[in-house]
Structures are given as structure tokens and as C-alpha cells.
A = this chain, B = another copy of it.
Amino acid sequence: MAMKCVLMNSFIKNLALKNHDKCAAAITRFISTQKSASSKLFFLPASPSAKLLQPTTTALTATRFQKMDSKNFSTSGPQPSNLTFRQLLDYATFTYTYILGDNASKKAIIIDPVLERVERDAKLLKELQFDLIYALNTHMHADHITGSGELGRIFQNCKSVISKHTSAQAQKYIDDGDVIEFGKFKLECLSTPGHTDGCVSYLLRDHGLVFTGDALFVRGCGRTDFQQGIPQLLYNSVHKKLFSLPDHFLIYPGHDYNGNMSSTVWEEKTYNPRLTKPFEEFKKIMDNLNLPKPKLIDVAVPGNMVDGLLDKK
């Protein structure tokens, strides 16, 4: 306790003196005296001279902050934070793929990889020195073939993942409430059916990020006119599962056709032209979209049934 007082006095004194590096050092050492505090409080130095600034969607835990040095920095990649986050786009199908990596353990996951972009994604993962352990699908896609199976051939520890409420092959099946762990991070599986019956959203709750697949787009949502699509189910999924998240949570969709990359729960609750409507009106909209059949559905669905491993068909 005496040491704690010394450290807190140093913190207070240096804060008053605006000596923020010393201030940060004191609070870091203080935290290190607390056995279990590290996972619960984040401390970020904000001085431009501090090398531990936090530039990403992630927060720097006290533990990480404490351990950070030049060696650790270089081995854990470029970002002095526990989480690496990347959004990637497949221009051909307007599909977003997401990489989430734990910089400490170097374990990573990928959400909705696209078969034709596996080479790009694998290269990036290797450059960032990640070991891919899960390739997750939000659902069985109708517009592109998943890269999850192929990634499992490149990364030996990688398991493909999809909802148990699909007829697709995968190495791990998930259900509502299941948790996918990568390093210290926990990704919650939220069952959000309606576009298909096996649609899942993935939630990184403590970072306020939700990956909604085709359940919810920026100012839109997935169609409900094939593959067990049911407007009532989708409406309930979005309202009960996604709109009940905190307003500021960032939504990362499965696609966007207008150049938007993200939104928030608040924005979609306020501005989504379909899902802000009463259900009957929503249903009318969804039943009258008159969209053409997806170009690749006859290739994509059989391909996704076998996890994108076309030589296994």
C-alpha cells in the first residue's frame, strides 16, 4: 500500500506539473500493483510524445501498456494495441471481409472471407504475423463463394465456422449465445435470422463493434425472397437483437452498394428507410423489392454447401 501511495502521489504531482509521461508511468506502475485490475481499466497516454498512442478501434489495456517496449512492439506488429482491426472489400460482389486479431497472442479470426480474395487476405494475415484460428461466415451466401474452407488449407489451425441452422459444411457449428475466442477477445454469436434462417451477427461487445452480415446494412437490409428469407423474422432479429445494443455501437455490414463502410445502432434506428417503419410497412417494402435473382446463386450456394472447397463437390 505504501508503494501505491508513492505512485499515486507521483501521478498527482506529475499531473499537476503537466508531466504526462511521468504521470502515465506512475499510473501504469500503480496498475501493475493491482493483481486483477488490468483487464478492467484502460489508460491511454495522449501526449504526442508518448509512443503508445491509440490509433485504432481498440483500447490499450493497462497490462499491455505495462508490458509495451520496443521489442514487444515490433513482434506484435505495427499497432500498440491489443486488437488489430481491418475491413476489406471485394469489389466484384461488394462484400466486406473483416480481420480481427489479438496482438498479444497473435491469434486472429476472419469474418466472411471471399474465395477470390483468399490470396490477398492470407498474405495480409501473414504480413501481420497472425495465426488464423477461425474463418467465420455470417450465413450461407448466395452472391459469392466463401473463402473459409480455402483459408483452412493455408492456416493449419483455422476452423471454418457457420451457424448450425444451415446446411453448409463447416468445422465448427455455432448457435445463438455461443462465444468465439481469439486470444483474450470474445466474439458473441447473435442469431439474427430472416435474410436466411442461419444468419448470425458477431458482436465484440467490449469494443462496441457488431458485424451484421446481411441482417442489417447501412440504411438497408438483406433481401428476404429466397433461402428461407422471412420478413417477420428479419424484422424481429434487427429490432430485438441489434437495435437493443447501445446506440453508439458501430455496425459493420456484410455488403454496401453505395460506398458506406459502417454505421451505428443510433443511425439505423433513426434513419434506416426500411427498419424504422412499422412491421406491416416493412413487409410491404420487402415483398415488393422485385430484385433480380443473384447472378451467382446457382454457383454460390452449392459452393458454400461445401465450405467453398469446390474440388470436394
Q: Which residues of A contact B (CB under 8 A)?
A: 4, 8, 12, 15-16, 18, 20, 23-24, 34, 36-37, 39-48, 51, 53-57, 59, 61, 73, 77-81, 86-91, 97, 117, 120, 124, 127-128, 205-209, 246-250, 258-262, 264-267, 270-271
Whether B41 and A250, one on each chain, are in contact in the complex, defined by CB atoms closer than 8 angstroms, is: no
Whether B54 and A127, one on each chain, are in contact in the complex, defined by CB atoms closer than 8 angstroms, is: no
Whether B55 and A127, one on each chain, are in contact in the complex, defined by CB atoms closer than 8 angstroms, is: no
* Complex: A108 Cα to B82 Cα, angstroms: 29
Whether A40 and B53, one on each chain, are in contact in the complex, defined by CB atoms closer than 8 angstroms, is: no
Whether B53 and A87, one on each chain, are in contact in the complex, defined by CB atoms closer than 8 angstroms, is: no
* Complex: A32 Cα to B54 Cα, angstroms: 22
Whether A55 and B250, one on each chain, are in contact in the complex, defined by CB atoms closer than 8 angstroms, is: yes
Count of this chain's copies in the oligomeric assembly: 2
Q: List 15 A-B contacts (CB under 8 A).
A: A8-B8, A8-B12, A15-B41, A16-B34, A18-B40, A44-B59, A46-B59, A55-B207, A57-B57, A78-B248, A78-B265, A79-B266, A91-B91, A128-B267, A261-B261
Whether A267 and B127, one on each chain, are in contact in the complex, defined by CB atoms closer than 8 angstroms, is: yes
Whether B259 and A209, one on each chain, are in contact in the complex, defined by CB atoms closer than 8 angstroms, is: no
* Complex: A86 Cα to B259 Cα, angstroms: 11
CB of A266, distance to nearest CB on chain B (Å): 3
Q: A42-B43, A46-B40, A266-B78 are in contact. Are A127 and B271 (CB under 8 A)?
A: yes
Find chain B residues with CB under 8 A from A205 CB: 48
Query: A246 touches which one: B41, B53, B261 (CB < 8 A)?
Result: B53
CB of A122, distance to nearest CB on chain B (Å): 14
Query: A57 touches which one: B16, B56, B80 (CB < 8 A)?
Result: B56
* Complex: A46 Cα to B51 Cα, angstroms: 22
Which of A18, A73, A78, A205 neighbours the largest number of chain B CB atoms within 10 Å of its CB? A78
* Complex: A252 Cα to B30 Cα, angstroms: 36
Find chain B residues with CB under 8 A from A88 CB: 259-261
Whether A40 and B20, one on each chain, are in contact in the complex, defined by CB atoms closer than 8 angstroms, is: yes
Whether B37 and A117, one on each chain, are in contact in the complex, defined by CB atoms closer than 8 angstroms, is: no
Known: A15-B34, A77-B266, A78-B265. 14 other contacts (CB 8 A): A4-B12, A15-B37, A41-B45, A44-B44, A46-B59, A54-B59, A56-B208, A56-B250, A73-B247, A78-B270, A81-B248, A87-B261, A88-B260, A117-B259
Find chain B residues with CB under 8 A from A209 CB: 55
CB of A26, distance to nearest CB on chain B (Å): 11
Select from chain B the residue with minimum beta-carbon distance to A35. Answer: B16
* Complex: A61 Cα to B44 Cα, angstroms: 10
Select from chain B the residue with minimum beta-carbon distance to A27. Answer: B41
Find chain B residues with CB under 8 A from A80 CB: 248
Query: A267 touches which one: B43, B78, B207 (CB < 8 A)?
Result: B78
Whether B89 and A259, one on each chain, are in contact in the complex, defined by CB atoms closer than 8 angstroms, is: yes
Whether A55 and B266, one on each chain, are in contact in the complex, defined by CB atoms closer than 8 angstroms, is: no
